[in-house]
Amino acid sequence: MMKIMDYIGYPEMILAVVCFIYLHHMNSKSILTNWPFIGMLPSLLLNHHRLHDFATDILSRSACTFVFKGPWFTNMTNIVVTTDPANMRHIFNTNFSNYPKGAEFNEFFDILGDGIFNADLDSWKTQRKMAHQFIIHKKFQSFLEQTSVDKVKNGLIPVLEHVLEHNLAVDLQDLFKRFTFDTTLILLSGIDPCSLGIELQKFPFVDALDDAEEAIFYRHIIPVNLWKLQRFLGIGKEKKLIKAREHIDQFIVQCISKKRELQHEKMNKEQEENGVDLLTSYMEQDDGSNSVTFYRDTVLNLMVAGRSTLSSALAWFFWLVSNNPIVEAKIVEELKSKANLPKNVYTKVRMFGMEDLKGLVYLHGAFCETLRLFPSVPFEHKRPMNPEMLPSGHKVDTKTKIIPHLYSMGRMEMIWGKDCLEFKPERWITEEGGIKYVPSYKFMAFNAGPRTCLGKEIAFTQMRMVAATILYNYKVKVVEGHRISPKNSIILYMNHGMKVKIGRRV
């Protein structure tokens, strides 16, 4: 028996040593080796903890485009990863019709249902038109201002004052998630979940969204059959996704039911005078054809767009500013140029109105620079309907998956220059002191072409409100030793949050 065990053990030991040496070599070189049968998957898995930076390393050495070869007989056999602006313009604008979302995208993002992110053709056009008409309405603009100001005044400031008074450390990313969750749900349904409070109570829906976004990310880096097997067995990330969907569906259906009750009882008169939320607007126009599923998909898609992307952008903005005191000083100086700021109920805290926030060019540049380096959606997912040649010279067909890597795009020297890794708001300001135009296919934080984000101005409005209030009144310092790194998710969150201490700005 011992001889048999020894016989079996030696090859295994040799294989283990070889694997260790190989993996160590790959880790130090960040190379991509195309192995028989398994392709480049080992490199991907080895670097799963730093996938965005790993992709950036490869792209920077590959003229902005490389072809990833996955395991044979999987959906990963031919993946084109690109940051080339010419490819971006071609895919998202010039030849937009050849790159619909398609069945595979819908399968990866099945939790979003038939909402605007998954929709194609007439369904997408109809949903986009409805959302656009809602967003540009004067009542909504008024409602947006009222909601943003109220949540900063009665939600964010009390929490920050409590943290400051008791000398506590707080996860700023978590605060921003709560702020954007509350404001987005109010704008969508008129319902305030009040997740942003001094108690910072757990809220299952917020955690469920995070779990779902993380699980969808992992669907992109493992073979389809593997994550489908996990889903069937109810294990791994797919188990978390199943539970997350249950929480999400339950919460949104409750909101829809409550809104319908309010509509039926005519209890939204006050809301109609001050503004209008999306569900109220849609239900008033409903001829009976809109199902609960339609409202569920609409709310969830716009919740991800409003809550998730905005909170991510705010967290990275404050991290970058806190690490660049010269930039911080310039922003504060620009804010001080605004006179007659009204005092809040807290005598030492001053608020900014919408008019005060106009013309803040340097602050706007800082936001754009943040989104260049840390786009809230770090990558996209495309597949051509018909074969063609990309401007970069890469042939693609219906079996080719294309990953436009937006995170890496902001780090390409050939696109942004030798200082591409520096945080420079001046990059976005003209010699005359205005905001510099940069084409969307080069700066894709808000997508490009026909699917350009409808909520771009909403995002800037809320970011200006939050950033101006915090930076004018407080100093934010990351807790010493707290590690900041991107999380593996379809939304570019910080992996361990952003623990900070708050001080009073004199």
Percent pLDDT > 90 in the chain is: 76
Averaged pLDDT, 384-396: 97
Q: Give SS3 for 62.
A: coil
Residue 453 marked as a ligand binder? yes
Topology of 31-504 in CATH?
Answer: Cytochrome p450 (1.10.630)
261, exposed or middle or buried, with CB in 10 Å at 0-12, 13-18, 19+?
exposed
CA dist., res. 151 & res. 413, Å (int)? 40
235 versus 7: the higher-pLDDT residue is 235
Give 421-466 pLDDT, tens digit per residue: 999 999 999 999 999 999 999 999 999 999 999 999 999 999 999 9
Token pair 């593997």: residue: 226
Averaged pLDDT, 275-304: 90
CA angle 472, 178, 291 (to 5 degrees): 135
Give 322-361 pLDDT, tens digit per residue: 999 999 999 999 999 875 555 554 457 888 888 888 899 9
Q: Give SS3 for 379.
A: strand
Buried b (16+ CB within 10 A) or exposed e, 338-347: beebeebeee
Mean pLDDT computed over every residue of the chain: 89
Strands (E), 137-267: 169-171
CA dist., res. 238 & res. 229, Å (int)? 9
Query: What is the residue type of 231?
Result: R
What is the distance of C-alpha 307 from the center of its chain?
A: 9
Angle between helices 236-265 and 172-189 (to 10 degrees): 40
CA dist., res. 266 & res. 101, Å (int)? 39
Q: Would you kindly state where each structural domain of the chain is located, as residue ranges? A: 1-30, 31-504
Structure tokens at 54: 């790993």
